[in-house]
């Protein structure tokens, strides 16, 4: 029997420092989970700046699956990050069974983000599945789970105001910076990083009127990125001077170590115009891109993800409620479809058995030169007789009693169905 499990550490359960350590890993995690035990059918890892989650597909009774799945996830995390189970204790939740779908659908829709409704998470969830496919660690049930999560996210985005009400981390960071930036048109901005956050940052800066934007890429992609977006760029040699002369520095790169520290900023004082502006550094990176010691540089203020989280706006209750209702409905439909898939092999086997008996009986009737009315009556009778067992199969499955139906089919008809038999599609499962 397939059981879904999720080991989740997020901004709601774990400290920022622990999440940072989880994001700084030196080895793969999903492949290690998938190789842990024969009952592990697959694994997908979702890792963002504010959450780390391992989704595991288990072929095992629920009681055993929880322990084996959690053990697999914790050992994989330790091998990749060095974090022990003792260090993680109390910093993660374990979600199992139907609740996994409801949780992932809410995550993908942005309902569990620091900024409710933020849009970046949907793409991160999709990329997590793609990475699992490339690593060969996904499974049929995890594919179904993540594909339905993307569908639920699109429904929420298209039918509620959540996407419009929610703001991305980038935009919230710039909103908080607005009080420190008297005139965006005159602000000298240095952007460190060339990923999706960097592109979103440029768009948000231009909306506010910023034009003096320079980019630096620790990975060497700055020139190409700058040409694509029509901005200036600096290489590693010119970067320190650019940092010292910027009034606003925004970092959003995936490098392991800090790309900015106090030593860089102290090498030369900030230019002093008639009214000296304060230098603001916004660190959107995880792990941290900026050493906390920059806050000790005179005239410099540091705004990091943890600080941004504390300033997250109140949820737009009406939009959030509507989105959660959609997510719960999608999760229920996912669970029902999965339950029906669990008993579908038994339903198909029972119908095949009954129709085999029917065809034998029809052949015998035809041999007596029947005019067709007996055959018609037999087919009608069998259809009537199969209706209740098929309906009961779906009812028992939705109640979590699929095993009872499998046992009954074997006890009454002598038909043994392997619980791990290949699942049929949702249409066939409906009978």
How many whole angstroms separate alpha carbon 356 and alpha carbon 47? 51
Question: Looking at residue 423, what is its pLDDT?
Answer: 46
Does residue 171 carry a pLDDT above 90?
no
pLDDT per position as a tens digit, 89-118? 999 999 998 999 999 999 999 888 877 777
Query: Does any domain span residue 59?
Result: yes
Give the CATH number for residue 154: 3.30.460.30
Which of 135, 166, 197 is at the close of a domain? 166
In the sheet that holds 188-192, the strands lie side by side as 232-233, 212-216, 188-192, 248-251, 279-283, 300-304
Domain match, 53 and 162 both = yes
Is the same domain home to 159 and 179? no
For residue 49 the two structure tokens come to: 């700046």
Residue 49 falls in the annotated catalytic set: yes
- 292 and 357 in a single domain? The answer is no
Give the pLDDT score at 317: 54
Given a cut of 60, is residue 276 above it in pLDDT? no
59-89 tens-digit pLDDT: 866 567 788 999 999 999 999 999 999 999 9
Q: What is the pLDDT of residue 205?
A: 95
Work out the mean pLDDT of the chain and round it to a whole number.
85
Shared-domain flag, residues 142 and 228: no
CA distances (Å), origin 57, targets 3, 371, 380, 384, 418:
6, 54, 41, 37, 18
Which span out of 210-219, 246-255, 383-392 was modeled with the highest average pLDDT? 210-219
Report pLDDT for 319: 75
- Separation of alpha carbons 382 and 378, rounded Å: 6
| Each residue's pLDDT tens digit, 235-244 | 999 999 999 9
Check residue 354 and give its pLDDT: 87
Neighbouring residues of 280: CB distance < 8 A, sequence distance ≥ 6: 177, 180, 181, 247, 248, 249, 300, 301, 303
**Residue range 353-363: average pLDDT?**
88
Q: Which pLDDT score is estimated for 293?
A: 95
Q: What is the pLDDT of residue 395?
A: 77
**Active-site position among 6, 39, 49, 252:** 49
> Does 150 lie in the same domain as 13?
yes
Residue 331 inside a domain? The answer is no
Instruction: Give domain status of residue 328, yes or no.
Output: no
| Same domain as 85, residue 47 | yes
Structural domain contains residue 57: yes
Is residue 316 one of the residues assigned to a domain?
no
Same domain, 210 and 100: no
Q: What are the tens digits of pLDDT across the range 392-417?
A: 887 777 776 777 888 888 888 888 87
pLDDT at 121 over 80: yes
- State which of 166, 188, 210 marks the end of a domain: 166
Share of the chain above pLDDT 70, in %: 89
Q: Is 363 exposed, middle or buried (0-12, 13-18, 19+ CB in 10 A)?
A: exposed
Residue 426 has pLDDT above 50, yes or no: no
Residue 209 lies in a domain: yes
In a domain, 333, yes or no: no
Do 251 and 281 lie in a common domain?
yes
Please indicate, yes or no, whether residues 116 and 151 belong to a single structural domain of this protein: yes
Using an 8 Å Cβ cutoff, are 418 and 410 in contact? no
Among 22-36, 138-152, 371-385, the range of highest mean pLDDT: 138-152
| Predicted pLDDT at 315 | 53
Structural domain boundaries enclosing 32: 2-166
Ranking 231-235, 277-281, 312-316 by mean pLDDT, the lowest is: 312-316
Whether residue 274 is predicted with pLDDT greater than 50 in this model: the reply is: no
Please indicate, yes or no, whether residues 36 and 148 belong to a single structural domain of this protein: yes
According to the model, what pLDDT value does residue 125 have?
A: 95
Are 7 and 150 in a shared domain?
yes
Asked if the model's pLDDT at residue 340 lies above 80, the reply is no
φ, ψ for residue 236, nearest 5 deg: -60, -35
Q: Are 22 and 79 in contact (CB under 8 A)?
A: no
Q: Say if residue 273 is in the same domain as residue 386.
A: no
Q: What is the pLDDT of residue 12?
A: 87
**pLDDT above 60 for 272:** no
Whether the predicted model's global pTM rises above the 0.75 cut: no
- pLDDT at 212 > cutoff 60: yes
Question: In whole angstroms, what is the distance from residue 290 CA to residue 281 CA?
Answer: 8
Q: Which two tokens stand for residue 100?
A: 């996994």
Percent above pLDDT 90 for the chain: 46
pLDDT at 190 over 90: yes
Tally of structural domains, the chain:
3
Could you report the per-residue pLDDT of 287-332, keeping only the tens digit for each?
Answer: 789 999 999 999 899 998 878 877 766 555 567 888 899 999 999 8
């Amino acid at each position: 029997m397939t059981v879904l499990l999720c080991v989740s550490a997020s901004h709601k359960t774990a400290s920022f420092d622990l999440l940072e350590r989880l994001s700084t890993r030196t080895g793969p995690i999903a492949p290690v989970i998938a190789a842990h035990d024969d009952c592990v059918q697959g694994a997908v890892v979702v890792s963002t700046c504010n959450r780390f989650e391992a989704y595991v597909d288990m072929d095992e009774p629920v009681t055993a699956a929880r322990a084996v799945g959690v053990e697999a996830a914790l050992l994989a995390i330790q091998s990749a990050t060095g974090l022990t189970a003792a260090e993680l204790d109390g910093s993660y939740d374990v979600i199992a069974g139907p609740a996994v779908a409801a949780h992932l659908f809410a995550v993908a829709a942005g309902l569990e983000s620091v900024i409710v409704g933020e849009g970046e998470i949907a793409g991160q969830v999709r990329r997590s599945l793609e990475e699992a496919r490339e690593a060969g660690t996904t499974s049929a049930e995890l594919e179904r789970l993540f594909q339905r999560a993307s569908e639920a996210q699109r429904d929420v985005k298209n039918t509620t105001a959540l996407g419009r009400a929610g703001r991305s981390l980038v935009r919230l960071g710039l909103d908080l910076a607005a009080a420190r930036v008297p005139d965006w048109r005159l602000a000298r901005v240095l952007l460190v990083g060339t990923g999706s956050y960097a592109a979103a940052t440029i768009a948000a800066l231009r909306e506010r009127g910023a034009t003096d934007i320079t980019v630096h890429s620790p990975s060497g992609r700055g020139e190409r990125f700058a040409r694509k977006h029509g901005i200036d760029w600096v290489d590693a040699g010119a970067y320190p001077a650019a940092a010292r002369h910027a009034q606003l520095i925004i970092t959003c790169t995936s490098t392991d170590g800090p790309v900015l520290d106090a030593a860089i900023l102290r090498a030369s004082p900030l230019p002093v115009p008639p009214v000296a502006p304060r230098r603001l550094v916004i660190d959107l990176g995880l792990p941290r891109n900026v050493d906390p010691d920059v806050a000790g540089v005179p005239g410099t203020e540091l705004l990091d993800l943890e600080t941004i989280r504390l300033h997250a706006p109140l949820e737009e209750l009406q939009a959030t409620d509507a989105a959660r209702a959609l997510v719960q409905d999608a999760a229920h439909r996912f669970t029902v479809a999965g339950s029906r898939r669990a008993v579908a092999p038994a339903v198909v086997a029972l119908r095949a058995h009954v129709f085999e008996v029917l065809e034998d009986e029809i052949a015998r009737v035809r041999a007596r030169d029947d005019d067709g009315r007996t055959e018609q009556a037999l087919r009608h009778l069998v259809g009537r007789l199969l209706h209740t067992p098929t309906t009961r199969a779906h009812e028992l499955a939705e109640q979590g009693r699929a095993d009872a139906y499998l046992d009954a089919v074997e006890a009454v008809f002598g038909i043994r169905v392997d619980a791990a038999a290949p699942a049929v599609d949702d249409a066939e499962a409906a009978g």
